[in-house]
Amino acid sequence: MAYYHRLGNIPPKRHTQFRQPDGSLYKEELVSSKGFSGIYSNLYHIHNPNNVVSIGDPTPFSWEPAKEYGLKQTHLKTAGVGTTGKDYLGARKMLMMNNDCMMGICSPEERKMDYFFKNADGDELIYVHDGEGVLYSQFGKLEVRQGDYIVIPRTTIYRFEWKEEGPLRLLVIESHGPIETVKRYRNEVGQLLEHSPYCERDIRPPAELHTESEKGEFLVKIKKGGMLHPYTYGHSPLDIVGWDGYLYPYALSIHDFEPITGRIHQPPPVHQTFQAWGFVICSFVPRLFDYHPLAIPAPYNHSNIDSDEVLYYAEGEFMSRKGIDRGSFTIHMGGLPHGPHPGTVEKSIGAKETEELAVMLDTFRPLFVTTEGLNFVDPAYPMSWKE
């Protein structure tokens, strides 16, 4: 994160006595990255965060790349998918993956989690395509809504509560490394620069603490090594009275991303929103088109020589694609040229603006469709450029 945040009550100095009303000590916990060299936060618990009551048997929670899928441009048709599972974790369907990241969909039937989740394998980026609710974590209460990116650092303990009415559809990206703001948009002390497409005002950290002090049995499902490990604790993990630091979950709305435009067509890096190990995330948002008198608004043909490109189509009509619906994924793999479908270039000339919304994942190592993703493949897509 680019700035310091604090909530609740904390002592004047770290690692010093901080006592509860009954005279006992609050339990300090350092949550840090890169050992003790990266960003971190200090949390203060009512109870001992190591108070484990029982540990259950681990169960598999992983996905496999499809074997012998081959090299082909791919369209995954998920527009008509309803609920994808009963609960939050059971509804996760990862459709593509490599060693750096996974990407998929999640539309749970149940709107309230009766357990907590901790991902110890990686950071998470959740895009709220449809829905509205609250993320509860040790860091407090974060209200989220349609269009939000939710960045959840590795090992954050959390649960979601979603509103009952209306559809609920999430795009989920899991990253092996940290998900960060874009380095070239930060100055030497981490502040987002004037020409960044968003700034700290647009970033929403938890706004208030949500302290659960009661004892009992509280289930935390921990993802580690592609397994779910059920841990039962003797108190709620949200027994925090205060914390401060730079590491915490936050939300950034795609609607607050300010597009960078030019006289001629701008390449995808101008849409970059986040960076991570081995991939970037970009946001395509409503914007004015190029204003050179001979401009062609539709994107030019492009050959990826060292990256795979995924577009998740959220809203609007994409001028360069035919047969794409809300909720479609297209995967354009390195080694093959891709570009506008026939007739769309000429049709785009003279267009002044677009109302599209899309999330793009660009990886720097090959991305593979999973066995789960095979259920959504459009077999006609590789031939859709045929004149």
By annotation, the residues acting in catalysis are 265
Residues in CB range of 265: below 8 A, 6 or more apart? 290, 295, 296, 297, 298, 299, 300
Size of the chain in residues: 387
Measure CA 329 to chain center. Answer: 16
> Residue 302, annotated ligand binder?
yes
Give the angle 339-341-345 at the CA atoms, nearest 5°.
Answer: 85
Is 332 annotated in a binding site? The answer is: no
308 annotated among ligand-binding-site residues: yes
Task: Determine contact, residues 240/29, Cβ cutoff 8 Å.
Answer: no
148 touches 314 (CB < 8 A): no
Q: Are 164 and 109 in contact (CB under 8 A)?
A: no
User: How far, in Å, CA of 325 to CA of 276, rounded?
Assistant: 28
Helix or strand run (H / E) with residue 127: strand 123-130
Bridge partners, 332 (sequence order): 309
Q: Are 78 and 105 in contact (CB under 8 A)?
A: yes
Which residues define the annotated binding site for homogentisate? 338
Which residues define the annotated binding site? 302, 308, 338
Which residues define the annotated binding site for Fe cation? 302, 308, 338
